[in-house]
Amino acid sequence: MPVEFPASYWKDYELLDSGNGEKLERFGKYVLRRPEPKALWTPSMPEADWRRLSHVTFTPGAGFGKAGKEDSGTWDKSKKMEDQWGIAYNGAPDPETHAASDLHLSLRLGLTSFKHVGVFPEQAPNWEFIYRETSRLARIHKANGLPAPRVLNLFAYTGAASLAARCAGAEVTHLDSVRQVVTWARENMERSGFQDGIRWVVEDALKFARREAKRGNRYDGIILDPPAYGHGPDGEKWKLDELLFGLLQNVASILSERDAFMVLNLYSNGYSAALGETVVREAFHGAFKEMTSGELAFNDSYGKVLPLSIYVRLKR
């Protein structure tokens, strides 16, 4: 099974160490210490070094370990730092020509009431896939006198994947159920040098997909990164185990029948790449040309591999 790692040339992110249920990460000029349940081993650095290096530590709160509240807590600063700051991501050079990529993301980070900071850096390989596939579709559309490819990003969070598609020339629909997060994504769009080309939707993902299917709307690319638990803007309950297959069935009906792609990312601890492939294959009834799956992971600076999510990528 393939395991993909963000490229070492990404200078604004580094996993320094991991272990004892935590990870020590550098985002730009700041070092953060956060819980990581998958870090089951002993850290390579002594505790004194973790304390010396970290600017801020996330301390789990009363909801830690409860479904939907497992990431709640507070940040405790040990050094002076800003509550909000920025990092950049510049895409991989062309593997054949070595030409520089046009994928340039500028992302605002922040210390939220959960352990998240506004970006999931292990997703960089998915951004690269989205950028490559959208670029390919953009060339096909241009050669055939068609409008720009349409890409739908469900559970879109702060928009790095949306921006990867936009950088490649797509017209993007960015959907998230939290209005403040959509506002954050708009800021990232502006920081990255775009003024338009992204439609912003605050909506429940399953409701939106069902409605688009009834309307007969189609997208050339669809991105899904669903949480294990969540709520829509009107209190709709989302539980991955119960609703993922139905959502994927709707996604299959709104994905263009040819020259199209889908990316599914899953963080749930009980999900494997094989399970992801099976649920996608069944939802799409085998109506695709190619499907790949694997894990997204980081090597910390001592060589320990920390797997963080699984992906399934499909092409039509």
Q: What is the pLDDT of residues 261-306, one digit of tens each?
A: 999 999 876 789 999 999 999 999 999 999 999 999 999 999 999 9
Q: Of the given ranges (13-27, 32-46, 55-69, 210-224), which has the lowest mean pLDDT?
A: 55-69
Look up residue 123 and give its two tokens.
Answer: 């997703």
Residue-level pLDDT at 70: 55
205 in Cβ contact with 222 (< 8 Å): no
- Residue 142, both tokens: 């241009």
Look at residue 234 in the predicted model and tell me its pLDDT: 77
Domain positions in the chain are 3-315
Flag whether pLDDT at 249 surpasses 90. Answer: yes
Range 117-126 average pLDDT: 96
To the nearest 10°, the Cα dihedral for 13, 16, 19, 22? -50
- Which pLDDT does position 9 carry in this prediction? 83
Record the tokens describing residue 60, joined without a space. 């789990």
Average pLDDT across the chain, whole number: 92
Least Cα distance to 222 among 150, 159, 158, 168 occurs for 150
Q: At what angle do helices 240-254 and 273-284 cross, to 10 degrees?
A: 50
Separation of alpha carbons 46 and 288, rounded Å:
49
Supply the CATH classification number for the domain 3-315.
3.40.50.150
Please tell me the least confidently modeled range out of 25-39, 151-165, 204-218, 259-273. 259-273
pLDDT tens per residue across span 49-76: 999 999 999 998 755 555 545 567 899 9
Confidence of residue 110 (pLDDT cuts 50, 70, 90): very high
What is the average per-residue pLDDT within 94-108? 85
